[in-house]
Chains A and B, each alone.
Chain A
């Protein structure tokens, strides 16, 4: 540099060198590189620069609502959440120079859910919240970044999943990982003729709990697990030199590599198995074990389901409710979708119900007639949350009225006991007495059919309400054939009765989604003028009601709202694009409702579906409003279809 150059260079930077320097640093990163200089200068002038030694906490959930917008000037920040399953914590993300945090908490005006620690010696720029809000209002690039930041973070996380950085991520992403994308154990397998002792030695050497028995084409024909070995030895089997095929479990359950980790977890929970073969085009590709999934989801679903199924007393089942709650909490914290969670709750609730019935029968003795335990309403739709009371009934076969009355007499005391035990386990008794112990709901198949027919013939308000509950029907325990036949006759009757369909559709329009209640972000909140909305009645019910009408009218037997919508798309009744939008909207409202419940549970408040939309952050509120709009659209299409 010549002397003249040095002078010229120095002359340019005479004013507020440090502000200028910090601006130059920020201009290397979005969104600061898109902001106007004056606004960027305003940002820097309102910042403080703070040092955090390695390991020092920067913000944590206990600090309360976030007061600053943080930009990493130099160093590295990592997010840590308490480990849901094990002791200690896990690192969920890392943030380096030029990156910002914690956007969601700041916009949501809440505490952060993740402890942010300095991973090494770190300097952060801290922008006070007032200045952040002002910039949010002034600068479009900054606002877009802040709002998108919440979701673009998810994009980044999803990209990382593709890079198989599974271990540091939340459960949503790992549960949605393709089995083919998992680092599966190399399958340990053998031929059908291998002696049992040799197969066990192989398992021991490979440190696995199962061995797949394959034919010459690598097609799995059986699986031999430590449980099979235990069973064999317990039953006095002494010849461990015999071929493994004699002791193996035949036709093992398998999934394709395109199935997700969630599918595998559900299959294990439903089938009480701990190993699932992954098979592609008939050839064994790998084995997913309960342990693999456990490390993936950090939620021991399979174990919990098994504990429920093996519980020896109702009091044990009641105690396990707390674990279900904990599990839902963890899964929500890991960002699992509402559909996944409602499925899991339903599954675990079904296990609990089955176990309660089995325990009642053990204690009161077998009534000597087969019966089916039915459930209705949200339980029937597999859409249970933690806040659901009992809606159940009993179906049995009888040749005539006298026999039906006699069987009912035998079943009612058992039903009463089961209802009471379920209440002990945390399913509150139904206020409307929709319970199996009600003699009107402990019916033979013929009686049920007659009852349903009366709903359809006489469309009184009471009957329409009844159809909304009873027509979402599912068998939980006992032979399913009777309830299948009941459903078939129901679909036939409704399909032929367009007048009833129209009444049902009209009824489905009664609950209007409250789109007008939403206001925009950073508006002044006027004292007591706070409006709340009911997420269940005003948000979910319009979808469930509309899906029910359309499903029953088009012969769709499934009771689940999402399934109904998908099947309606397949049947060409609903456009694919609309179906996807409805599904997404429904899930978002359900998710919001669950988070709301979870929050209330944490604060020790009674669970309620009422929410003040102003308590949501800007982004969530926007999506929620859009979701309610979709409910409105679905209702409009229903009105058009039935000319209401």
Chain B
């Protein structure tokens, strides 16, 4: 049962300390003009019960940090959320999270607070970011009563925009990873996918610099133009 009013009630159940932590979360950043290599980005990947953006829920969060132009392996976020069994869908074989692991997982409010504290005021990167943003936003609203305003850059869009000549037939993370010969340790695990996405992002940032696009704001502007053109091509 995933009725919205139930979620709101969950949010209301935050204890005093959790409420204090929610209030202390930094404000959302803007995509600005500073060089890419001078900024901190959080690359996130979610595993969910399924692909239905209205019904499915977040099962685990994996995130790595790009800071000073490199992936800092010392800053990683990896968390499985404690979900009741009935939330589990058929996608268990895709995300591969065992019910036992979910049972050992962290209480969702704790997990999401910890994640947002990890994100801080950094912009987010994700592959097919719209999905992750939507799922995360919904989870945060329902569980914490928190409104996610952090900007996302979609690596699935950056890749074909910056490297149109290297675009694989299908545009999935696996396809791009293969195209750039990335060695991915274990796919369909939130952390491993976040790391693969981050490596892809580093390659794309390198391409962006060579195309004189060296800031998140610049990338966002170019993306807007690129999206319009893509739409135009489709029409």
- A: which residues have CB within 8 A of B? 3, 6-11, 13-22, 24-25, 44-51, 53, 56, 73-74, 121, 123, 125-126
B58 to chain A, nearest CB (A): 16
Q: How far is the CB of A68 from chain B (nearest CB, A)?
A: 10
Interchain CB contact under 8 A, A17 and B80: no
For the complex formed, measure the closest distance between the CB of A530 and the CB atoms of chain B, giving whole angstroms.
Answer: 35
Interface size class of B (residues with CB under 8 A): 35 or more
B: which residues have CB within 8 A of A?
A: 62, 64, 69-74, 76, 78, 80, 92-93, 96-101, 104, 180-183, 185-186, 189, 191-192, 194-195, 198-199, 202-203, 205-207, 210
Q: Which residues of B contact A25 (CB under 8 A)?
A: 183, 185
Closest to B68 in A: A48
The CA-CA distance from A125 to B195 in the complex, in Å, is 13
By a CB distance below 8 angstroms, the chain B residues around A3 are 92-93
Residues of B within 8 A of A126 (CB): 70
A17 touching B73, Cβ below 8 Å: no
Contact A14 B185 (CB under 8 A): no
Q: Select which of B70, B97, B183, B192 is within 8 A of A48 by beta carbon.
A: B70
Pairwise interchain contact B180-A10, C-beta atoms closer than 8 A:
no
* Chain A: CB-nearest residue to B188: A10
- A7 lies within 8 A of B191 (CB): no
B183 and A10 contacting across the interface, CB-CB below 8 Å: no
Task: Check A21 against B72 for contact (C-beta < 8 Å).
Answer: no
Which residues of B have CB within 8 Å of A11?
98, 100-101
* Residue in chain A with minimal CB distance to B194: A18
A17 touches B98 (CB 8 A): no
Contacts A50-B202, A121-B180: A13 and B73 contacting too (C-beta < 8 A)? no
Contacts of A17 in B (CB 8 A): 62, 78, 185-186, 189, 191-192
Would you call B100 and A22 a contact (CB within 8 A)?
no
Instruction: Determine the distance from Cα of A210 to Cα of B210 in the docked complex, in whole angstroms.
Output: 53
In the complex, which residue of chain A has the Cβ closest to the Cβ of B180? A121
Q: Which residues of A contact B206 (CB under 8 A)?
A: 51, 53, 56
In-complex Cβ contact of B76 among A16, A53, A74 (8 A): A16
Q: Given the known A-B contacts A17-B191, A18-B191, A74-B181, are A7 and B99 also in contact in the complex, defined by CB atoms under 8 Å?
A: yes
In angstroms, Cα B151 to Cα A49, docked, is 24
Contact: B100 with A7, CB < 8 Å?
A: yes
Instruction: Report the nearest B residue to A128, measured CB to CB.
Output: B74
Q: Of all chain B residues, which has the CB nearest A120?
A: B181
CA A338 to CA B36, docked complex, whole Å: 49
Given contacts A17-B185, A17-B191, contact A6 B202 (CB under 8 A): no
Contact of A49 among B73, B92, B181 (CB under 8 A): B73
Q: Distance (Å) between the CB of A76 and the closest chain B CB? A: 11
CA A11 – CA B183 in complex, angstroms? 22
Most buried by B among A10, A123, A126: A10
Whether A18 touches B101, Cβ cut-off 8 Å, given contacts A44-B73, A49-B199, is no
Distance in angstroms between the alpha carbons of A574 and B210 in the assembled complex = 66
Which 8 A-B residue pairings sit nearest by Cβ, starting from the closest? Answer: A21-B185, A51-B202, A7-B98, A17-B191, A49-B71, A48-B70, A10-B96, A50-B70
Q: Contacts A6-B96, A10-B97, A17-B186 given; indicate if A121 touches B203 (C-beta within 8 A).
A: yes
Q: Within the assembled complex, what's the spacing in Å between the Cα atoms of A17 and B80?
A: 12
- Minimal beta-carbon separation of B178 from chain A (angstroms): 13
Tell me whether A18 and B97 are in contact (CB under 8 A): no
Instruction: Give me 13 A-to-B residue pairs in the complex whose CB atoms sit less than 8 angstroms apart, sorted by A's number.
Output: A3-B93, A7-B92, A7-B99, A8-B98, A10-B97, A10-B98, A15-B78, A16-B78, A18-B62, A47-B73, A48-B73, A48-B74, A74-B183
Complex contact A24–B97 (CB within 8 A): no
Say whether, besides A18-B191, A51-B202, A46 and B74 are in contact (CB < 8 Å).
Answer: yes
Q: Is the CB of B74 within 8 A of A9?
A: no
Given A18-B78, A22-B73, A45-B74, 18 more pairs with CB closer than 8 A: A3-B93, A6-B92, A7-B92, A7-B98, A7-B100, A10-B97, A10-B98, A10-B189, A16-B76, A18-B185, A21-B186, A21-B195, A45-B73, A49-B71, A49-B198, A51-B205, A51-B206, A53-B203
Bound form: Cα–Cα A22–B199 in Å: 13
Give, as a whole number of angstroms, the nearest-CB distance from A97 to chain B: 9
Q: What residues on A are CB-neighbors of B210 within 8 Å?
A: 53
Residues of B within 8 A of A50 (CB): 69-71, 202
For residue B95, which residue of chain A has the nearest CB?
A: A10
A9 and B72 alpha carbons, distance in the complex (Å): 27
List residues of chain A with CB within 8 A of the CB of B183.
25, 73-74
A56, closest chain B residue (CB): B206
Q: How far is the CB of B45 from chain A (nearest CB, A)?
A: 11
| A-side contacts of B98, CB under 8 Å | 6-8, 10-11
Interchain CB contact under 8 A, B73 and A51: no
CB < 8 Å: which of A10, A19, A22, A123 contacts B101?
A10
Q: Given A7-B100, A46-B74, check contact A21 B80 (CB 8 Å).
A: no
Instruction: Check B70–A16 contact: CB distance below 8 A.
Output: no
**Contacting residues, chain B, for A56 (C-beta < 8 A):** 206
- Given the complex, which residues of A lie within 8 Å of B70, measured CB to CB? 48-51, 126
Given known contacts A18-B195, A48-B70, A9 and B80 CB-to-CB distance under 8 angstroms: no
- Chain A residue nearest to B202 (CB atoms) is A51
Residue among A22, A50, A51, A125 with the highest chain B CB neighbour number at 10 A: A51
Q: How far is the CB of B37 from chain A (nearest CB, A)?
A: 10
- Beta-carbon contact of A48 and B72 below 8 Å: yes
Chain A residue at minimal CB-CB distance from B71 = A49
Given known contacts A7-B99, A9-B96, A11-B98, A18 and B73 CB-to-CB distance under 8 angstroms: yes
- A13 in contact with B78 given A50-B69, A51-B206 (CB within 8 Å): no
Closest to B200 in A: A51
The answer for the CA separation of A24 and B189 in the assembled complex, in Å, is 16
Q: Nearest-CB distance from B90 to chain A (Å)? A: 11
A546 vs chain B, min Cβ distance (A): 55
Knowing A25-B183, A47-B73, A50-B69, say if A18 contacts B202 (CB, 8 Å).
Answer: no
Question: Is A51 a contact partner of B203 (Cβ separation < 8 A)?
Answer: yes
Q: Bound state CA distance, A216 and B180, in angstroms?
A: 64
Residues of B contacting A46 in the complex (Cβ-Cβ under 8 angstroms): 73-74
